[in-house]
Structure 1
């Protein structure tokens, strides 16, 4: 039996993979090589030993590269040299990821386009090196790393390093002068930036960050009017521990924080159950033999209805919960609440009488522990989001000009694509925040 199941599983797996390859083949025949490659890859994900799928995938990827090289040529002929370089770099990156080496006519075309791109790269590098933003040059080298390597330009670009280093040192000096007092985020950026450009500075800031918190403390206000009071208390304690951990992973937390965040966790639980005892009737039919009125020497089966009386208890439950937390972050309210109410009717009895099709019945009561755990989860689900929103409100919406650099860097941690953030980075470094993040890990 087990062997049959294994064989069936193998057959289904083979059929699924064959189906994926066939779908890929149809797309390949239509010239939809990217979509075909996705089906071949899906087949390999199901069975890594599928030689046919691997061969088809390699063929599709070569076609993707061929088509990409045609796009590169068309962009170059249209004098869109940036677009051509971008496309050529993506092709080289794909070849590197896919472990594909260009051969024959494809290699010849690729080498030709690399030669054409070489002059564009040289001119672009020269213009960037003559500008005032050394980081634009570093981003250029990162963006076209494989193309630069293929064009064998790395050594010649090293000639610009002394000039770029002078510009970077000037920028580092400017940043360092601004690192004072409460500018902790600017301090971190300046440290990384100067370190990469090998510029040494002794930076000095306050020992404590007055805007952040070293810990969070929950003050509980509980009214748990339920027989399951202890279970509810344990769940609340577990939730507050989770929130403490999440807060310590948030941007508001810092070991250098000077404040303690006090949050009130309130829970108002009311549970009521009433029971009604009553006599319940269940009618059933039995057959008995009676004299046949047509023939006194015979008996006939007659249905007789009887009543079985048994005790039953009906229960009525009401379970209502009000949950909330509230605290102050930088003069802003951190708060949320959750309210719900459940009612339930259930019955129990101990009657066990087969003739009346009766079996004992157990009442099904509200699972307060499960319900309360779900309510706590609903209350705290958006806790991280609320923390980020308040941080953004403090530093992305409140754009203080006299501490703009610090504000921008704080805002960038929650809204990296904010125009306020990117405009500052482009003014200071010539590139946006995401590029700086990639280069320096800020």
Structure 2
């Protein structure tokens, strides 16, 4: 039986892969090579030994490269040198990722476009090296890394390093002069930036960050009217521990933070159970011999209905919980609440009478601990998002703050696409925040 199931599984897998290849073939025939490659890739993913799918995938990828080279040429002829270089870089990166080497006419076309791109790269490098933004040059090297390698321009570009280093040293010194007081995020940027350009600097900062928190403390206000009080208390302690972990993973936490975040957690739980006894009847049939009404000398077997009476206990439960936490975070409210109630009807009895198909029955009571655990999860769910929103509210909306440089860097941690953030980085470094993060890990 096990062998049969395994065989069926293999057949289904092969059938699925064949279906994916067939779908890819149809798209390939229509010239939709990218979409075809996705089906072939899925087939290979499901069965790495599928040689046909792998061959089809390589064919589709070669077609994608062919078409890409045509697009490169069209962009170049349209005088869109940046677009042509970007597309050619993508092709080269794909070839490396796909382990494909250009051959024949494809290689000839690719080499021709690389020669055209070489002049564009030389001109761009010279212009960028002469600008006051050394980081634009570094981003240029990162952006066209494969094209630079294939055009064998690495040695030529290295000739600009001394010139770029002088610009970067000036930028580093300007940043370092601004690092003082409460500018902790600026210090981190300056440290990484200066280190990347091999410029030694010292910084003067306060010992503690007045805007962040070194710990979180809780004030518990509990009204637990339930027989499961101890279990509820343990669940609350677990939830508070989770809250603390989440807070310490948030941007508001810092070992050098000056403040303590104080949160009040309120939990009001009420549980009531009432029970009443009721007499329950269960009708059942038994076989008995009775005189045959048609022949008094004979007996016949007939069904006779009887009644079995037994006691039942009927329970009615009511469970309700009102949960909340609240506190002040940098003058803003950090709070949430959750409330819910449940009712339950259940029955139990101890009757054990096989003739009436009766067996003892236990009451199915509400699982208070499981329910309360779910309530706590709902209460604390999303606290990370709320902490992030409050940080953004504090540092991404006040664009004209006196300490705008520090505000920008704090805002960037939670809103990397913020126009306020990117306009500042463009002015300072000539590239946006995401590019700076890629280059320097800021």
TMscore range, shorter length:
over 0.9
Once residues 298 and 120 of structure 1 are traced to their aligned partners in structure 2, the CA distance between those partners, rounded to angstroms, is: 117
Q: How does 1:42-441 map to 2 (within 5 A)?
A: 42-441=42-441
The CA deviation at 1:163 is: 2.1
Once residues 256 and 155 of structure 1 are traced to their aligned partners in structure 2, the CA distance between those partners, rounded to angstroms, is: 45
**Once the two structures are superposed, what CA deviation does each residue of 1:220-248 show, in whole Å capped at 9, x if it has no partner?**
11111111111111111111111111111
Could you tell me the TM-score, scaled by structure 1's length?
A: 0.97
Once residues 398 and 316 of structure 1 are traced to their aligned partners in structure 2, the CA distance between those partners, rounded to angstroms, is: 56
Aligned length: 442
**Once the two structures are superposed, what CA deviation does each residue of 1:240-288 show, in whole Å capped at 9, x if it has no partner?**
1111111111101111111111111111110110001111111223343
The CA deviation at 1:199 is: 1.5
Instruction: Indicate the SS of the match to 1:142.
Output: helix
The CA deviation at 1:400 is: 4.3
Once residues 73 and 358 of structure 2 are traced to their aligned partners in structure 1, the CA distance between those partners, rounded to angstroms, is: 84
Once residues 439 and 78 of structure 1 are traced to their aligned partners in structure 2, the CA distance between those partners, rounded to angstroms, is: 32
Once residues 205 and 361 of structure 2 are traced to their aligned partners in structure 1, the CA distance between those partners, rounded to angstroms, is: 72
**Once the two structures are superposed, what CA deviation does each residue of 1:385-408 show, in whole Å capped at 9, x if it has no partner?**
111011111111133431001000
Instruction: Indicate the SS of the match to 1:402.
Output: coil
The CA deviation at 1:130 is: 2.3
The answer to which of 165-174 and 418-427 deviates more is 165-174
Once residues 49 and 113 of structure 1 are traced to their aligned partners in structure 2, the CA distance between those partners, rounded to angstroms, is: 36
**Moved segments of 4+, more than 6 Å:** none
Q: Which runs of 5+ in 2 are unaligned?
A: none
Instruction: Indicate the SS of the match to 1:28.
Output: helix
Q: Which runs of 5+ in 1 are unaligned?
A: none
The answer to which of 97-106 and 165-174 deviates more is 165-174
- Indicate if the aligned counterparts of 1:274 and 1:317 stay in contact, CA closer than 8 A: yes
The CA deviation at 1:28 is: 1.4
Once residues 46 and 241 of structure 1 are traced to their aligned partners in structure 2, the CA distance between those partners, rounded to angstroms, is: 42
**Once the two structures are superposed, what CA deviation does each residue of 1:299-354 show, in whole Å capped at 9, x if it has no partner?**
34443322110000000001101111111110111111110100000111112223
Instruction: Indicate the SS of the match to 1:224.
Output: strand
In the alignment, does 2:26 pair up with 1:6? Answer: no
Once residues 31 and 354 of structure 2 are traced to their aligned partners in structure 1, the CA distance between those partners, rounded to angstroms, is: 72
Once residues 43 and 231 of structure 1 are traced to their aligned partners in structure 2, the CA distance between those partners, rounded to angstroms, is: 50
Once residues 243 and 293 of structure 1 are traced to their aligned partners in structure 2, the CA distance between those partners, rounded to angstroms, is: 81
Instruction: Indicate the SS of the match to 1:360.
Output: coil
**Once the two structures are superposed, what CA deviation does each residue of 1:54-97 show, in whole Å capped at 9, x if it has no partner?**
11111111111111111111111111111111110000000011
Instruction: Indicate the SS of the match to 1:352.
Output: coil
Once residues 105 and 33 of structure 2 are traced to their aligned partners in structure 1, the CA distance between those partners, rounded to angstroms, is: 19
The answer to which of 155-164 and 188-197 deviates more is 155-164
Give the equivalent residue in structure 1 for 2:24: 24
The CA deviation at 1:367 is: 0.7
Instruction: Indicate the SS of the match to 1:305.
Output: strand
Once residues 401 and 45 of structure 1 are traced to their aligned partners in structure 2, the CA distance between those partners, rounded to angstroms, is: 52
- Indicate if the aligned counterparts of 1:400 and 1:407 stay in contact, CA closer than 8 A: no
- Indicate if the aligned counterparts of 1:261 and 1:328 stay in contact, CA closer than 8 A: yes
Instruction: Indicate the SS of the match to 1:254.
Output: coil
